[in-house]
Structure 1
């Protein structure tokens, strides 16, 4: 193992507890020291380091939780149960693969995201000692959504029985959740100690060991509401094949729970600690539209720990209905010793949280009282100030450009005026002092001389990912780079004097081939496994695996080849990073990725992903940060800032936008109102762009109100470039025609339409994409000028990243 690996793994190990959330605690933990431990559950030996699909990282090693605990000195006394469970698991896995291969019917990419449900069993619980844990695990991934069934979103009978029995039998018991998304814990809420360890990468077992003995104190907070399944909103649709109706509008996550009086098991922003904290005296000031909150946090417990202060805003209801509250600021303390206190200052601008009025196509702040709430979770706050605005203000005059979903969003029920404590500050803001802004949608672009001189064919190549124009059959699919083994794609090398931008998948680190060799044709995998995720290849039968190897271009390793390594660090999954509520920590995780990008010659990381946790059923939620757009945008900005401190390295924030399910993702039409899009699903992207200017943005597969996002000029030009001021390049997600559902009522996105909308790169690129653009150029439906504009942006990004 090289020194950079040790440094990066040590950093993750020593800081990952900030991403873990202590959901319940009765004081039994931490224990004094490692000792005998009766440990049960699938997660002990079948630990999920992170979800499946493009987010997988080919790590040098992976330690299970069992191995990690033993490395830290624990004696696992439940080997008999674990060994018997191995047999149950093996049979269930064999049956699962048999069923999946039958359903596959030759389309190997359809297997992505398929995960086995937890099998039922009747094993005898046995293990010495007074301390026990049960590690409940759930996996999910790209390509498939979760289901409300036992062994998936719900616990199965075996899990419920064993967890409750262990809770009664052992003096000290903890339920550990090795999951990437919420599960319905209703049947086991009698358990007194519950830890969401999440999915923290290869050293997750050692992190858990540190938490059990108090070497590290969990300080994470939930970024998604955990509840009984029947408490989640069913206003909209999820999982329908051709379209998804977002009828819930802006009432997503805690905005729905708080506003409609639904009960959560564990609310947004919630998380305990081994110690206790007090949020003390709070003072609030207003300077024009900027609100400044100063408060003091004191550790009133017996051990060191960190606390997160959260500021929520309740807006007045007027012309527009409003959620009960929304998060507007957060800050995390240092590691405070018992008795230590720290002053924190949190700021936000009222104009940044203005509401969108579709009638006037404007962001507005309505006249009335704005309640500033301060606390340590969404349900544990106090009103610290009332900010009164004397008249309605138009903050930004925009334009409606996202289409009509064909329905009206649900509205919030009327609510009574809330009693304001006497000690709350009373502040006045005058509308006349606030500045209104306007946007020019008349985009004018200069064209680089190099682009002006290019032939039509060269301009088309500039707008498509690298592919071999002479290739036959599957090898025409350019879903792997040639300059870096395992890279997801590159820009073209067909234009003389133009260097390629190398791209690698994410978002839990770089996904590259761990070993490779080089020849005159580039860099190639040397492992014999290719660059595809193991979750895909493991489930393939021999015939499908053969076809897959044709697609990814598996290369035979010559006997005299020099084998080289490029081991990449797996950082925690996106949801876990966000649970830290620590901007600086997220930035450091980005720095780790940026360091390895520099080492291995990767220019664009295809991450971070910041889609909203609209439903806990989305199979890809583990990659995403939160149900809240502010948290999502801030975490994406932090990761981007960390990566882009490295010369020649950039992020590609994704998936833009309204990509909140995996079901028929190529052809599904997201029906969303303009207000919901702007306030929920686009806000995080805008925040990240304005704060850190990521080098690239990737559009999503889905349609938005009848138009593919990748072909949507309103999304790409009007909102992203004109309103948000984005300066980078826009690329598609990896669009492969063979992956689309031929029976869907909606077609897939097309290269010529993407280029016409201002999309700079159609990825990964193939001869068919080239031919479509050429035909459109010849028939006049695609202009040479637009191709020159797109090529200019790509050329300038090459200058920035490659030199």
Structure 2
């Protein structure tokens, strides 16, 4: 297989970074191996390696290296080919039954099969195959897939291990001197039954080179240096969420106590805490200096490699806040940094800085962000479960940071609170630092919306204004392609566009795929438009569930080969690591590199807006879309999203669309589920990362989520869009909806879908993907006074300005 020059460049660039996204959870010193050898390879992930999640997360890369291929290419001899062959037969039988079951379930539920099947994961089947490998080295690759449209289940073969997996993993761990359990997963699995295993590697899902990356790690060409961005624990040890499977309402009873904030505050023991990770080598970390200048805290840490292998280490700082007025988590991540590659015996002074104002809490009663009076403890450690105080920071009086206004309403229940923090015995040697009273600047938000209307927009007819406020659609077509995020006409396989039906105004092309661009790999063009070759524009996970009539209709815009006289064109895109794996690198520079790769391909293929990165919070390990999202922590989520944004937007005419804004934390009835959340939790947990990304990187677009928040759809929530996003965070780009499709509505839900007229009235600029029904509904809303002509003009102005900015930059 001969790659194009850009593919080869991107492949090589990524390969050297992938081990940074992996996390070594356990080790006994038998890895890395001295060289390729005979190896026994077991588990679903050997041949059926998962490069990323399904749905919008699928990237149509030219190739994907599975673990078997990666091992063979690296020089290993696999001694378990017969086991793998027999496993494939078991898997095929299970898949056939799974497809029949899903179709039957969809019919019984009265739901569209395609929508019902999205993100459905087949459970790992139980089987009885003899363990017959040879050699002294063995890997078992456990794989799990999840995706858009459905959530994960706390059952054997999905979040829990199957009985077959437990049996085989434990037997192999005893049988082989050198055994490694490898986790090719996008989310947490409950490892409690196999915690006795000697070596465990969280490989994650690293894109097209996942199999290659594992071979490199086994041979020591890559040293795992990632840290967990989500707490790994027993299923029953996470906060109780009794209504997670309620299709209409979800009460965020845990409030701000999400992830490690819950485990640390309520002294729950995790299997592997947030921030945890080992290395092939051994590091020491010693704090050299802690200083305060104004409100900025600076810490210098000496990191030394005292082991046998080159490697990178991560430094983490946490802050414990006084609890005079509000209750607070035991500690919160406030800064992190990664060392360079350190050779054995080498050391580096790593510097970390943060502003205390970034740790401000939100007081709902007074509608402001503030810092408590009292003693703050600065903590340092290898992970959240093992930190120690390194400085005491004294604040003599309360500091008001930002006076705002409440916008989210009341959830209607009392959320979880901490009952008090135990007194801590401090080392007398730690320094005490005092914050001066004039160190902070107090601000008040001005909530005056920008009402700019360009003269050329003011001259548009009503119909032209409506087109500007709705994604591009052909009034003469059904828009079937939009069901699968394939509504683009300028770039084959693109997810959608802004309208090109208004005068000579430019339009924007949008591509999906948070782990790289999702476009048609091969296509041709003729006088009728663009035509994908085969089904290359359709996510593979959907093909098994598509009715024959729909496949036929879609085939009308595709072909098995180019039309005579037409040229075959290619759009091979690079699949980068999933969002969770990127966050596990704890390396902002690496996130920028991945953004740079995507931005380069956006330029090449004519895409203006990438519908990513996604930075919703890992509220529950059950969320089927967690693989797209970075972390349970909003700080690292915002930082990674900002870094990736900078990498993309360094390319002329390229922008990101950060999503899903906000509280999109489960897939069940995502179009009509109401997230009931307190104002404080929304601001401190679920929207904080968006604010960090906006302030540090100014993304070109924001996509709202499907769900409601306290009774109002996010796309129709003027408080979220105009007040919080634009006025408080300073967002200057355009806001669009997620792809609202009537077909995806859950008929048993009590809440309607987002409506175009209400969305436009809230200051959201583009209703996506757009269709004739949306046009009629918005026109009716204008006539009935739901949305004003002035608001449509304001929205259209923002769309036109962004289209001009990005298209002119590309010239």
TM-score by length of 1: 0.98
Distance 1:723 1:237 in 2: 32
Give, in angstroms, the shift of residue 512 of structure 1: 0.2
Q: Is the 8 A contact 1:672 1:705 kept in 2?
A: yes
Q: Does 1:150 align with 2:152?
A: no
Alignment of 1:344-493 (within 5 A): 344-472=350-478, 474=480, 479-493=486-500
Tell me how far 1:532 sits from its aligned partner: 1.9
Distance of 2:30 and 2:439 partners within structure 1: 55
Asked if the contact 1:517/1:561 (under 8 Å) is kept, the reply is yes
Q: Deviations over 1:718-769 (max 9, x none)?
A: 0000000000000000001111113311000000000000000000000111
What displacement does 1:302 show?
1.2
Choose which of 337, 340, 352 in structure 1 pairs with 2:346: 340
Give me the whole-angstrom Cα distance separating, in 2, the residues matched to 1:50 and 1:434.
44
Alignment of 1:207-286 (within 5 A): 207-234=213-240, 237-286=243-292
Q: Is the 8 A contact 1:484 1:522 kept in 2?
A: no
Looking at structure 1, the residues matched to 160 and 240 of structure 2 have their Cα atoms a distance apart, in angstroms, of 17
Q: Deviations over 1:246-276 (max 9, x none)?
A: 0100000000000011110000000000001
1:494 corresponds in structure 2 to: 501
Q: Which of 65, 68, 76 is the aligned partner of 2:67?
A: 65
Unmatched 5+ stretches in structure 2 = none
Structure 2 vs 1, CA of residues 235 and 420 (structure 1 numbering), >3 Å: closer, same or farther?
farther
| Residues 376 and 392, structure 2, Cα contact 8 Å, conserved in 1 | yes
Structure 1 residues 361 and 95: alpha-carbon distance in aligned structure 2, compared to 1, 3 A threshold: same
2:620 aligns with 615
- CA contact 2:486–2:493 (8 Å) conserved in 1: no
Distance of aligned partners of 1:171 and 1:705 in 2 relative to their CA distance in 1, 3 Å threshold? same
8 Å contact kept, 1:479–1:734: no
Asked if residue 740 in structure 1 is aligned to residue 740 in structure 2, the reply is no
- Which whole-Å CA distance do the structure 2 matches of 1:271 and 1:216 have between them? 15
Asked if 1:329 is matched to 2:335, the reply is yes
**Alpha carbons of 1:474 and 1:542: their partners in 2 closer, same or farther (altered >3 Å)?**
closer
Shift of 1:662: 0.2
Correspondence for 1:575: 580
Deviation at 1:541, TM superposition (A): 4.8
SS of 1:103's partner is helix
| Separation of aligned partners in 2, 1:595 and 1:710 | 30
Distance 2:550 2:671 in 1: 22
Asked if residue 641 in structure 1 is aligned to residue 670 in structure 2, the reply is no
Structure 2: how far apart are the matches of 1:594 and 1:652? 13
Q: Is the 8 A contact 1:260 1:413 kept in 2?
A: no
Distance 1:475 1:568, change over 3 A: closer
Is 1:83 paired with 2:85?
Answer: yes
Out of 191, 200, 218, the residue aligned to residue 194 of structure 1 is 200
Q: Any idea what SS the aligned residue of 2:208 has?
A: coil
For residues 337 and 621 of structure 1, the distance between their equivalents in structure 2, rounded to whole angstroms, comes to 35
Cross-structure match for 1:710: 715
Distance in 1, Cα, partners of 2:241 & 2:356: 29
Q: Corresponding residue for 1:762?
A: 767
Indicate if the aligned counterparts of 2:180 and 2:198 stay in contact, CA closer than 8 A: yes
- Runs of 5+ unmatched residues, structure 1: none
Q: Secondary structure at the match of 2:17?
A: helix
Aligned partners of 2:277, 2:784: CA distance in 1, in Å? 60
- Whether the 8 Å CA contact 1:307–1:376 is kept in 2: the answer is no
Say whether the 8 Å CA contact 2:481–2:487 is kept in structure 1: no
3-state SS, counterpart of residue 42 of structure 1: coil
How many residues are paired up?
800
Distance 2:528 2:554 in 1: 20
Q: Name the SS of the counterpart of 1:279 in structure 2.
A: strand
CA-CA distance at 1:319 after TM superposition: 1.3
- In 2, Cα distance between equivalents of 1:281 and 1:686: 30
Structure 1, residues 522-570: CA drift from partner, whole Å, max 9, x if none? 32212x11522101113435345446667xx546752332111110000
Matched, 1:140 2:146: yes
The yes-or-no answer on 1:524 pairing with 2:524 is no
- What's 1:112 paired with? 118
**Where does 1:163-202 land on structure 2 (aligned, <5 Å)?**
163-202=169-208
SS, match of residue 596 in structure 1: helix
8 Å contact kept, 2:522–2:536: no
CA distance in 2, matches of 1:725, 1:8: 34
1:198-250 per-position Cα deviation (integer Å, ceiling 9, x unaligned): 00111111111111111110100000000011111105631211011001000
- Identify the residue that residue 660 of structure 1 maps to in structure 2: 665
Deviations 1:413-444 (A, max 9, x none): 22221111122110011334321110001223
CA distance in 2: counterparts of 1:185 and 1:539, whole angstroms: 32
Match of 1:506 in 2: 513
Preserved contact between residue 103 and residue 113 of structure 2 (Cα < 8 Å) = no
Q: Which of 13, 16, 27 does residue 14 from structure 1 map onto?
A: 16
Q: Which whole-Å CA distance do the structure 2 matches of 1:714 and 1:555 have between them?
A: 47
Aligned counterparts of 1:130 and 1:799: Cα–Cα separation in 2: 62
Question: For the residues of structure 1 that align with 2:479 and 2:510, how far apart are their CA atoms?
Answer: 23
TM-score by length of structure 2 reads 0.97
Q: Does the aligned pair in 2 maintain the 1:614–1:627 contact within 8 Å? A: yes
2:592 is the counterpart of 1:593: no
Name the SS of the counterpart of 1:569 in structure 2: coil
Would the alpha carbon gap of residues 236 and 405 (structure 1) be closer, same or farther in structure 2, given more than 3 Å must change?
Answer: farther
SS of equivalent to 1:763: coil
- Give me the whole-angstrom Cα distance separating, in 1, the residues matched to 2:545 and 2:391: 57
- For residues 475 and 631 of structure 1, the distance between their equivalents in structure 2, rounded to whole angstroms, comes to 35
| Alpha-carbon contact 2:66-2:212 (below 8 Å) kept | no
CA RMSD of aligned residues (A): 1.4
Instruction: Provide Cα deviations, 1:669-689, integer angstroms capped at 9, x if missing partner.
Output: 000000000000000000000
| Contact map agreement 1:277 1:299 (CA 8 A) in 2 | yes
CA distance in 1, matches of 2:441, 2:249: 40
| Most deviating of 766-775 and 657-666 | 766-775
Distance 1:447 1:582 in 2: 41
SS of residue in 1 equivalent to 2:254: coil
Output the CA distance in 2 between the equivalents of 1:776 and 1:323: 45
1:9-44 Cα shifts (integer Å, max 9, x gaps): 111111100000000001011110011000100000
Q: Deviations over 1:772-802 (max 9, x none)?
A: 1111212222111101100010011011111
Q: 2:114–2:545: 8 Å Cα contact kept in structure 1?
A: no
SS of structure 2 residue aligned to 1:328: strand
Q: Report the Cα distance in structure 2 between the residues aligned to 1:404 and 1:532, rounded to whole angstroms.
A: 41
Which residue pairs with 1:689 in the alignment?
694
Out of 29, 32, 35, the position equivalent to 1:33 is 35
Whether contact under 8 Å (1:275, 1:299) holds in the other structure is yes
Larger displacement relative to structure 2 (513-522 or 270-279)? 513-522
Contact 2:481 2:554 in 1 (8 A): no
Which of residues 631, 636, 647 in structure 2 aligns to 1:631?
Answer: 636
Matched with 1:727 is: 732
